[in-house]
Amino acid sequence: MKTVKLSDVCDISSGGTPSRNNPEFFKGDIPWAKISDIEAAYNGFIYTTDECITADGLKNIRGKLFPKGTLLFAMYGSIGKVAFAGTELSANQAILGIRPKVDAQIDLKYLKCWFESNKQRLINQGQGVALKNLSATIVRNLEIELPPLDDQKRIAHLLGKVEGLIARRKQHLQQLDDLLKSVFLEMFGDHTAMKQQQHFLLGDFIDFLTSGSRGWAKYYSDTGDIFLRINNVKDGRLKLDDVVYVNAPASAEANRTRVRSGDLLLSITADLGRTAVIPKELDGSYINQHLALIRIKEEAGFNPIFLAWYFSLPYGKSFIQKKNREGVKAGLNFDDIRSFQVVKPSIAHQNQFAAIIKKVDALKSRYQQSLTDLESLYGALSQKAFKGELDLSRVVLPAEEPEIAEGETTDIEEKQPMEPLFELPAPEELALLRTSEGRKALLGEWLNAWLEQLSDAPFATQAFMDAARQRLWELAEDDAPEWGAAEYDELKTQVFEALEQGRLIQGYDDDNNRVQIIAAKG
């Protein structure tokens, strides 16, 4: 592992911005990238840009054009963000284009991983207060750890796989959020439908209303009572990845700001309208002065989870925005809150939505933990890789790949067999799940159903077991048994039986150089 100065192995040049005094420069068809285009890159590639320039606009910036495959590096704002040029393009002066020098032994995919893994180091070198930026000189003088070329490719391939899994987990989390918003609108109506419903004043249903502590709180990192702040409240739910603690005094002020299970929190300063509901496990926590505590009357006919989502989505949030006062700081007072208008669907409908939220949040929690684990894995692997401590002996050197067009899959996406889009059947008696024999029988039933739907597609053990675990959770929720080594052994036995019976066929995947199992036709 040697260390080189980046400018010794790469040609590095910045882009430019045509004069805005001539609007005609921005009416062409030459892609012109900005930082926002790097942030919105499709699977790490920029194919199209928000703005395009003309040939005269390109001349105005002295013909600065980056070839397809150039690594684009953000120097301002999103320091360290990188993407490849998926087509020939130009860029503004906040972006550097990086290409290997002739005969230089450096792989740009490896360099991309290096930038992403050293992002904080780059940010620390940035200058400025409101908007951090790096100079081209700093980037050119960066010291890069550079193993042999083949090892660079192995490292990039390995980290790229983990990076792809991270991207998929983030996508899954976003999809679940989008799903819940769609479910809310489907169950309770969109802006037009809600506008036609009867409205009520929120104040008529409030039992207790207050705001948080105004001065006694001293933060601690790992001991005391949980103290919720505005950054812990978001999109109808609590975020506890940045929680602090306090030692609450025995005082009326502390009693006033202590929350109960089911209380609705609402941000009343800065970013108005953030909402969340206090779960059972946070009963007895405290809030700061930027949050209002809204306790709804028990007989009011409202599920606080419905209200949290109502005020976090556009129609309900519009009443909050109307109350926003002009001035240096945004803010809401208690009279504002009492005057909010709410619709009132049936409590049964609200409870049904709350049950869906509970299930999806449990799934999100699993995905979030998986994301955290993957990010930790990426960090550990990259740290070892750039120190030369990673054992690459069993990492296969990736083959050269064909050109990828926009909309096609890339190596960032894990290639997996298509999974059947169907629901595994529920057992006649849920009591089957409580015994090993019952779970064994259910596993066989589900395997048969899976193979019938699979047709002649490849069979993936992990995909089947993931679907089985998810179905168990849907059926039994908190009482769902853990499926582990015993179930894998049983599945292995049943797969061998299916091979002997001809329901599964063992073949070979030439493209990926591995054995694969395929469900027999018919």
pLDDT at 212: 87
Distance separating alpha carbons of residues 337 and 124, to the nearest angstrom: 42
* Residue 186 token pair: 């489907």
CA dihedral 38, 40, 42, 44 (to 10 degrees): 40
CA dihedral 357, 363, 366, 371 (to 10 degrees): -90
Beta strands, E only, 378-511: 458-459, 504-509
Distance separating alpha carbons of residues 29 and 55, to the nearest angstrom: 9
Distance separating alpha carbons of residues 270 and 290, to the nearest angstrom: 8
Q: Are 5 and 44 in contact (CB under 8 A)?
A: no
Length of the chain: 522
pLDDT at 518: 72
- Cα separations in angstroms, 418 against 50, 168, 460, 494: 34, 15, 9, 21
Long-range contacts of the stretch 300-305 (C-beta < 8 A, 24+): 300/205, 301/205, 301/344, 301/347, 302/205, 302/342, 302/344, 302/347, 302/350, 303/347, 303/350, 303/351, 303/353, 303/354, 304/262, 304/263, 304/264, 304/277, 305/236, 305/277, 305/350, 305/353, 305/354, 305/357
pLDDT at 469: 66
Distance separating alpha carbons of residues 339 and 337, to the nearest angstrom: 5
Low-confidence ranges of the chain (pLDDT < 50): 326-328, 402-404, 406-421, 478, 513
pLDDT at 485: 62
Nearest to 34 by CA among 25, 24, 46: 46
What are 2-15's pLDDT values in tens digits? Answer: 999 999 999 999 99
Residue type (1 letter), 374: L
Q: Would you give the DSSP letter of residue 121? A: H
Residue type (1 letter), 70: T
Residue type (1 letter), 158: L
Determine the Cα angle at 191 with ends 190 and 192, to 5°. Answer: 95
Q: State the angle between helix axes of 314-323 and 304-312 in degrees (0 to 180), rounded to the nearest 10.
A: 70
* Rg from Cα positions in the chain: 28
* Residue 179 token pair: 């799903």
Q: Are 160 and 113 in contact (CB under 8 A)?
A: yes
* Residue 98 token pair: 């990086």
Backbone angles phi, psi at 446, to 5 degrees: -70, -35
Q: Are 24 and 66 in contact (CB under 8 A)?
A: no
The 3-state DSSP class for residue 71 equals strand
Long-range contacts of the stretch 118-125 (C-beta < 8 A, 24+): 118/80, 118/386, 119/79, 119/80, 122/79, 122/80, 123/79, 123/80
User: What is the secondary structure of 173-232 as a DSSP string?
Assistant: HHHHHHHHHHHHHHHH--HHHHHTS-EEEGGGGEEEEEE-BSS----BSSSSEEEE-GGG
